Amino acid sequence: MFANWPLLSLIIWLPIVAAVPTLLAGDKRPDSARWIALAATVLTFLLSLAILPNFDASSAAMQLQEKHLWISVLNVHYHLGVDGISVALVLLTTFTSVLVIVGAWGSIDEKVSQYMAAMLVLEGLMIGVFCAMDALVFYVFFEGMLIPMFILIGVWGGARRVYATLKFFIYTFFGSIFMLVGLIYLYFKAGSFDLATLAQVGLNAKEQMWLFFAFLIAFAVKVPMWPVHTWLPDAHVEAPTGGSVVLAAIMLKIGGYGFIRFSLPITPDASFEYAWVVIAMSLVAVVYVGYVALVQEDMKKLIAYSSIAHMGFVTLGIFISLALVRSQNNELAARLGMQGAMVQMISHGFISGAMFSCVGVLYDRLHTRMIRDYGGVVNVMPKFATMFVLFAMANCGLPGTSGFVGEFWVILAAFQTNPWIAALAAFTLIIGAAYTLWLVKRVIFGEVGNDKVAKLEDMNGRETFVLASFAAAVLLFGLWPKPLSDLMDAPIAHLVQQILVSKGA
Amino acid sequence: MTTISLTDLYTLIPESFLTLAICFILLFDQFLKPAQRNVTHYLSIATLAVTAWLVTRHYGDATAFGGMFVHDGIADALKLFVLLTTALVFVYARSYLADRGLYVGEYYVLCLFAVLGMMFLVSAGSLVIVYLGLELLALSSYALVALNRDSPLSSEGAMKYFVLGALASGMLLYGMSMVYGATGTLDLNKIHAASVAATQPTLLLFGVVFIVVGIAFKFGAAPFHMWLPDVYQGAPTAVTVFIGSAPKLAAFGMAYRLLESGLGGAGPHWQQMLAALAVASLAIGNIAAIMQSNLKRMLAYSTISHVGFLFLGLVNGAPSGYAAAMFYAISYALMAAVAFGMILLLSRAGFEAEEIEDFKGLNQRAPWYAFLMSLTMFSLAGVPPLFGFFGKLLVLKAAVDSGHVWLAIVGAVFAIVGIYYYLRVVKVMYFDDADDATPLAAPSDAPMRWVISVNALALLVLGLTWGPLYAWCARSFGIS
């Protein structure tokens, strides 16, 4: 079934189109807006699951392709397709979106229809990013995404929301516009925006260098990597819970995805030459930002910095693998590192989404994110405390949770390049455990902090559902990562082959 | 000398019709009571529609009057969009004019005369026609800016416009005289041949400098932009919406005729000048716009920056660059029409919604118009998937194609600066609370409500389906 359906177009456009009736429901009928949004996201999730039976995971080829001429004069095609990596990220997106809509059910009560509509548009655009096979189509989705996110943070955010959302928008736009110039240059060389064609176009060292840095700015801002990470803590702190979840769980992944779709295949030689830059930046992120997280007093800010540190593993894994395959021709280790980076992306999606949802649960009750305003939550909210501790453990990278798998693989791969890099990276496990467990200690354990905490009520069914869903995913991929790695193995092997070939011209 | 034949007149059917119709409206309006002004309004729109229809019929030959008048795809496309934009302007302007006692026949007649000037300008095959078309446009515009003669701001704007405009015309004319001296002809085709063949082009290049200055004045490119903010702010908004939209198309047409059809042989020289003007316009326009609190003034500075982008296309100096610049001009005209139209829509008798602060909390008061306005702002800022992005994409591509990668990077950097002030409008509408949260009464002017909605949504729709429009532009310049 579904074999002949344009599945990818459906999952992109269904949420976007559903935003129209959601908006029309208006603020006077918030419940209909919520139900329409929920129905749309659930349907999108089910349709995205229908990709799996129609998908051959053993092949690295782009599958379920749809190709229609968009702009004939420029030879631009509305070209969609997915490989294992995309499928994993699409599923992460559709899964998280359902939970975000459910999570917003009680916590958003102003301008509900606009909130739901913005979320739906955002979901469609994010899926589009992961499915696009044409660089211009990719760029349109990549940038278009900023508009709903800008509105989400700006309208439903906290006290400094305007500053945060402007910073978010301008930072991201700043990054991507140079990529646009780079893509135009590539078009000039290749006569097409088709990603497969761009990957084959011959480029000399200088051209590759410029293009590499253009891509690096775009994706480093998105990931975000140190030192262009400063927008993220602000955006996370001010965003509504749903916005934070989407931002951490999905949007950051687009940066990592960009590296493997653009930087590595299009500029392999420059990527190798400047891999040390990215590796150094990643290590700084992992170590220094980890320390920064340690001193935070705001829960959301702490998790935001922890996100930056964890995303450092992703970029580290990607570029370590590149170095491995290029300098030592160690394909097996490279595949392991790349796998680790990808698994880390998915796993961090679940964990960070869950952590932000947890903060959301607390924030909805006491309207504060400050750590000092809590304490001893376990005494009044045992169910919630269980969940929180589970996700905290996953965030530390405890074996048995998905957080362990990716980091472990990346460290294994790093060890084969340079034990010192591995040692530094492994060091983060300690810092990670330090800031996360300290957070748990101060918020969850101990005596009941104050009267307000004493009156807290445990999670309701809706909140339990959201957190339990995340928990199931975290445990599933922690105990049994094989389906995930099988899904992504073929495209990664292909990518590793691809970056072996120098394209100097 | 060639003699005028019947086919020459036949080629001019749209322009002839428009001329006669204007004369008729001018006379007819004298016999109408103020209460019957709607007749003039609808008659003017009908005139534009019929003229547009006549343009699409492609009467006559490729040239007329011995090459003085050129009738090609470029002219046709530009004319159609000038007519369309002007019709939009008329629809948006009516209730604003009526509220302020400016609902007079002169507004329509002057606008239509300006349209006639633009139609000649984009069809010019000779320096004389360029100048005549330009002056018809310019003189009508000066008078329009002064339409509200009791307003000192308006008179000041008109005075500035007139003095600087006259200076620009003088520059242009001076340059033309040098070109004539160097080539011995006023015919653009012959000038082209002479400019290609010129071995000692000193005099010709002097002429080129003055002509480029004249063009930059008319576009409002920095550093010849001084008049633009004052005129935009001073003129009644119903006039600003007109001079802010359609004449940009005509200015593109003029630049193309003079620089490519005429002085194509001096391309490498004027391309450098335009590159410098583009950088200056991008910098001054975008940076100065940040500081503005008056929306009309901000949009004026944003116009300057958009002119800078448009020049990136012209700098390319090849058909694909001109097609990109034309696409940009069309997209800009449509965006400017909505942006100024929205100011008209929100202002009412005795209240000008000119300040950015006036848009505070618009999302609470009129969510639909806030949505449309934010579409327009994102489009002006060049965020995909809106129309404005693809204009920027094409001109940046044109700059890269011609080897001016650095110029494309400058454009990109200033696009980032530009983001800020457009976003500020969205911020004011969505994130700030209105002082007075009562829902805004829907504007009583139903046609305006519909047309502006369609106009704004077109920015989204055209963003997704811009292929045919670009193909049309490309075809006009002989790219298939």
Q: Report the 10 Å Cβ neighbour count for B5.
A: 13
Q: Calculate the alpha carbon distances from B457 to A449, B115, B334, B379 in Å.
A: 53, 25, 11, 11
pLDDT of residue A505: 52
Q: Tell me which amino acid residue A351 is.
A: I
Instruction: Tell whether the model's pLDDT for residue B90 goes beyond 90.
Output: yes
Instruction: Tell whether the model's pLDDT for residue A217 goes beyond 60.
Output: yes
Instruction: Tell whether the model's pLDDT for residue B6 goes beyond 60.
Output: yes
Cβ under 8 Å to A: B residues 295-324: none
Specify whether the CB–CB gap between B69 and B9 falls below 8 A: no
Instruction: Tell whether the model's pLDDT for residue B147 goes beyond 60.
Output: yes
How close A393 comes to chain B (CA, Å)?
38
B171 burial (CB, 10 Å; 0-12 / 13-18 / 19+) is buried
Assign A72 a pLDDT band (cuts: 50, 70, 90): confident
Q: Calculate the alpha carbon distances from A420 to A426, A427, A429 in Å.
A: 10, 10, 15
Q: Report the 10 Å Cβ neighbour count for A100.
A: 29
Instruction: Tell whether the model's pLDDT for residue A433 goes beyond 70.
Output: yes
Specify whether the CB–CB gap between A249 and A352 falls below 8 A: yes
Specify whether the CB–CB gap between A192 and A198 falls below 8 A: yes
Specify whether the CB–CB gap between A474 and A391 falls below 8 A: yes
pLDDT of residue B334: 93
Q: What is the pLDDT of residues A172-207, one digit of tens each?
A: 988 888 899 899 999 988 888 888 888 888 888 888
Assign B299 a pLDDT band (cuts: 50, 70, 90): very high
pLDDT of residue A504: 61
Tokens matching residue B193: 């041949």
Tell me how far apart the alpha carbons of residues A265 and A253 are, in angstroms, rounded to a whole number: 18
B326 and A CB contact within 8 Å: no
B406 and A CB contact within 8 Å: no
B467 and A CB contact within 8 Å: yes
Assign B442 a pLDDT band (cuts: 50, 70, 90): low
- Segment among A71-75, A390-394, B155-159, B293-297 with least mean pLDDT: A71-75
User: A407: which residues sit within 8 A by CB, 6+ positions away?
Assistant: A313, A340, A344, A397, A425, A429
Q: What is the pLDDT of residues A319-375, one digit of tens each?
A: 988 888 888 888 888 888 888 999 999 999 999 999 999 999 888 888 888 888 888
Scanning every residue of chain A, which has its alpha carbon at the shortest distance from the alpha carbon of B429?
A155
Q: What is the mean pLDDT of residues A240-255?
A: 90
pLDDT of residue A402: 85
Tell me how far apart the alpha carbons of residues A161 and A164 are, in angstroms, rounded to a whole number: 5
Scanning every residue of chain B, which has its alpha carbon at the shortest distance from the alpha carbon of A175?
B416
Instruction: Tell whether the model's pLDDT for residue A277 goes beyond 80.
Output: yes
Assign A44 a pLDDT band (cuts: 50, 70, 90): very high
Which of A181, A193, A211 should one mutate to test binding to chain B, selecting the residue with the greatest count of B CBs within 10 A?
A181
Task: Classify B236 as helix, strand or coil.
Answer: coil
Scanning every residue of chain A, which has its alpha carbon at the shortest distance from the alpha carbon of B418?
A170
**Residue (of B237, B293, B296) closest to B428 by Cα position:** B293
Tokens matching residue B171: 């520059």
Scanning every residue of chain B, which has its alpha carbon at the shortest distance from the alpha carbon of A155?
B431
Alpha helices in A295-401 (DSSP H): 299-323, 331-366, 377-380, 382-396
Q: What is the pLDDT of residues B203-238, one digit of tens each?
A: 888 999 999 999 998 888 988 888 899 999 989 999
B53 and A CB contact within 8 Å: no
User: B369: which residues sit within 8 A by CB, 6+ positions away?
Assistant: B342, B345, B346, B362, B440
Assign B443 a pLDDT band (cuts: 50, 70, 90): low
How close A180 comes to chain B (CA, Å)?
8
Contacts of B356 in chain A (CB under 8 A): none
Scanning every residue of chain B, which has its alpha carbon at the shortest distance from the alpha carbon of A177?
B412
Q: What is the pLDDT of residues A91-139, one digit of tens each?
A: 999 999 999 999 888 788 888 888 999 999 999 999 999 999 999 999 9
Q: What is the DSSP string of B241-304?
A: HHHTTHHHHHHHHHHIIIIIIITGGGHHHHHHHHHHHHHHHHHHHHHHHHT--BHHHHHHHHHH
Helical packing angle, B367-381 and B405-430, nearest 10°: 170
Tell me how far apart the alpha carbons of residues A339 and A303 are, in angstroms, rounded to a whole number: 24
Q: What is the mean pLDDT of residues B133-140?
A: 94
A102 and B CB contact within 8 Å: no
pLDDT of residue A149: 92
Contact A169 B419 (CB under 8 A): yes
Instruction: Tell whether the model's pLDDT for residue B1 goes beyond 60.
Output: no
Assign B438 a pLDDT band (cuts: 50, 70, 90): confident
Q: What is the pLDDT of residues B305-316, one digit of tens each?
A: 999 999 999 998
Contact B383 A181 (CB under 8 A): no
Q: What is the pLDDT of residues B265-287, one digit of tens each?
A: 888 889 999 999 999 999 999 99
Tokens matching residue B275: 């590159």
Specify whether the CB–CB gap between A289 and A309 falls below 8 A: yes
pLDDT of residue B256: 93
Q: What is the mean pLDDT of residues A64-77?
A: 86
Contact A169 B416 (CB under 8 A): no
Which of B282, B401, B430 should one mutate to test binding to chain A, selecting the residue with the greatest count of A CBs within 10 A?
B430
pLDDT of residue B308: 93
B170 and A CB contact within 8 Å: no
Q: What is the mean pLDDT of residues A429-455?
A: 86
Tell me how far apart the alpha carbons of residues A436 and A446 are, in angstroms, rounded to a whole number: 16
Average pLDDT, rounded, for chain A: 88
Percent of chain B predicted with pLDDT > 70: 98
Tell me how far apart the alpha carbons of residues A116 and A244 are, in angstroms, rounded to a whole number: 15
Q: What is the mean pLDDT of residues B345-366?
A: 81
Which of B409, B470, B479 lies nearest to residue A181, judging by beta carbons? B409
Percent of chain B predicted with pLDDT > 90: 52
Specify whether the CB–CB gap between B204 and B266 falls below 8 A: yes
Domain parsing of chain B, residue ranges: 6-476
Contacts of A71 in chain B (CB under 8 A): 466-467, 470
Assign B431 a pLDDT band (cuts: 50, 70, 90): confident
pLDDT of residue A142: 92
Specify whether the CB–CB gap between B462 and B469 falls below 8 A: yes
Count Cα atoms within 13 angstroms, Cβ side, for B477: 24
A166 and B CB contact within 8 Å: yes
Which H or E run includes A81?
A: strand A76-82
A34 and B CB contact within 8 Å: no
Q: What is the mean pLDDT of residues B454-469?
A: 90
Burial B69-99 (b: 16+ CB within 10 A, else e): bbbbebbbbbbbbbbbbbbbbbbbbbbbbbb
Scanning every residue of chain A, which has its alpha carbon at the shortest distance from the alpha carbon of B394?
A184
A53 and B CB contact within 8 Å: no
Q: Tell me which amino acid residue B20 is.
A: L
Contacts of A169 in chain B (CB under 8 A): 419, 423
Contacts of A185 in chain B (CB under 8 A): 400, 405
Contact A143 B426 (CB under 8 A): no
Percent of chain A predicted with pLDDT > 70: 99
B383 and A CB contact within 8 Å: yes
Higher per-residue pLDDT: B94 or B201: B94
Tell me how far apart the alpha carbons of residues A236 and A241 are, in angstroms, rounded to a whole number: 9
Instruction: Tell whether the model's pLDDT for residue B108 goes beyond 90.
Output: yes
Contacts of B393 in chain A (CB under 8 A): 136, 180, 184
Tell me how far apart the alpha carbons of residues A348 and B26 are, in angstroms, rounded to a whole number: 71
Tokens matching residue A369: 């994110």
Q: What is the mean pLDDT of residues A19-26?
A: 87
Tell me how far apart the alpha carbons of residues B351 and A48 are, in angstroms, rounded to a whole number: 52
Tell me how far apart the alpha carbons of residues B400 and B232 are, in angstroms, rounded to a whole number: 33
**Residue (of A76, A75, A79) closest to A64 by Cα position:** A79
Rounded to a whole number of angstroms, the distance between the first and last alpha carbons of chain A is 46
B277 and A CB contact within 8 Å: no
How close A184 comes to chain B (CA, Å)?
6
Instruction: Tell whether the model's pLDDT for residue B142 goes beyond 70.
Output: yes
How close B299 comes to chain A (CA, Å)?
20
pLDDT of residue A140: 92
